[in-house]
Amino acid sequence: MQVRETPPFAPVLMESTRAIGYSLEAAIADIIDNSIAAKAGKAQLSFFPVGDAYVSILDNGTGMDDAQMNIAMQYGSKSPTETRDSSDLGRYGLGLKTASLSQCRVLTVISKQGDQVIGRRWDLDYVIKTGAWSLLILDKEDFASVPHISDLYEQDSGTLVVWQNLDRLLMGEVDYEKSLGRKMDEVRQHLELVFHRYLSGESGIKKLEILFNGVKLKAADPFLIKKSTQAMDTETLVIRGKRILVTPYILPHISKMTEEEKNQLGGKDGIRKRQGFYVYRNKRLLIWGTWFRMMRQGDLSKLARVMVDIPNDLDDLWTLDIKKSHAIPPAEVRNSLQTVIDRIADKSKRTWTFRGKKETSDSVEHMWTRLKTPENGIVYEINRDHVLVDQIVAEAPEIRGKLETLLKYIERGIPLNQLYIDLNNDEKIENDADMGEQEMFKTLEQMLSVLPSSIMRREMLEKIEHTDPFCGYPDVIRALKAKEDGNVKP
């Protein structure tokens, strides 16, 4: 083993950079960023927490030669203003070192290109001992003791990153086993979210397969794009000649989600807390669940998500930090985002109000009406002009007074406090479930049966076509119209 010493610089800085604030999951994500930059199609994460504990990340990317390896292991190997490849997810040239050494005291990197295999190691205890920035150059004998080196040998190219002496991993933890399980879950969930567009193989980027202890990770789409509504067309902002794409989505109401989809969004609490902007840099998620102080997080906006795609050559405008976990949009972007916020918040509110049903136009006759009182209070009333109310009164005019009394008692007896609690807890309100088409068909047939002529029944169908809840069943109304048309004699 040889030692390559860099020019003297206080070794204490290596210890200091460990306190930047990386979480385990963010540190691992930083290493996978390098795999993506190396054009890898697979990254294998191994977590061995007992005995000689280690964390390893092996990719099948292009690998590195001697010169590239020395640069990669050098602190601050890139300038933040340097022009880089569009797939490069780094910025400061610190991620590999600071992310790794925030979790361990020994960082080993071995890379393979064809028949050439080279390795380097940062050992913090050795650095302290020598009093210099001493980078260890590994030879074949040193490789033999490195976990998963045989897996690297089997590949044509790739890079193996290994963390050992994991002094920060369980610092301050009392229940070692429980804490370990929680951390592994946090890592898995973080990677499935942060790299979801790579895991799903989105157009325009190379698909990445990530295995965690041999288990393939699944993409956690925070937008549920297949079920959500795109609130407005994608807006393109041009800054310094570079494009920023802004695409707003409205999630389906929680009552329309499966348990798996709810869990994918972070559970009931996560759905509320993760509303807001999702900022991607080269389709890698950086920041999520924030409105950048342009709007407060609220229950009526919790279904709103805005995808923001930024290129890596506008990092300085977004004041992106080393950990890639904090960014602030520039003023020219904030002004445009404010317009998007105003539109999407209103749509989210309406989706919540209509409890996930397809949003209807103003021409629809609703069952309930919302009125403002002279004192600026809100009153919800059953629509007295609704077709069902009209039909009941038409059939039995003498019960009009009793019906009016019943409706008033229903309006005043709404359990608003309990409803508020249930809605904020995202409880599924079963009586809000849509009626099946067969059930609706029978209901309408019963309504039509009291009308004496086919013409009157046809007129009734024309009317309820724009009345809630019947307007949500166009196929049923169409079938009943066809039936009545068949009854009309030429």
- Answer yes or no: are the C-beta atoms of 218 and 245 closer than 8 Å: no
Strand partners, 110: 119, 160
Tell me whether residue 377 is exposed, middle or buried, using C-beta atoms within 10 angstroms of its C-beta: 0 to 12, 13 to 18, 19 or more: exposed
Q: Which residues contact 452 (CB under 8 A, 6 or more apart)?
A: none
Residue 292 is predicted with a pLDDT of 87
- Answer yes or no: are the C-beta atoms of 308 and 278 closer than 8 Å: yes
Q: Which residues contact 397 (CB under 8 A, 6 or more apart)?
A: none
In the block, tokens 């809630």 appear at: 468
* Residues 281, 89: Cα–Cα separation, whole Å: 7
Evaluated on CA atoms 290, 293, 299, 302, the torsion sign reads negative
Backbone angles phi, psi at 484, to 5 degrees: -65, -40
**Among candidate residues 374, 371, 375, the one with its CA nearest the CA of residue 384:** 371
* Residues 350, 369: Cα–Cα separation, whole Å: 14
Tell me the one-letter amino acid at 200.
S
- Answer yes or no: are the C-beta atoms of 278 and 305 closer than 8 Å: yes
The ranges of the chain with pLDDT < 70 are 1-11, 76-94, 170, 172-177, 320-326, 345-363, 423-429, 431-434, 487-490
Residue 357 is predicted with a pLDDT of 42
Residue 40 is predicted with a pLDDT of 97
pTM > 0.75: no
**Among candidate residues 352, 337, 363, 367, the one with its CA nearest the CA of residue 229:** 352
CA distances from 3 to 104, 121, 252 (A): 20, 10, 59
* Four-CA torsion 440, 445, 446, 450, nearest 10 degrees: 150
Beta-strand relationship, 304-310 and 276-281 = parallel
- Answer yes or no: are the C-beta atoms of 24 and 183 closer than 8 Å: yes
* Residues 252, 259: Cα–Cα separation, whole Å: 13
Residue 29 is predicted with a pLDDT of 95
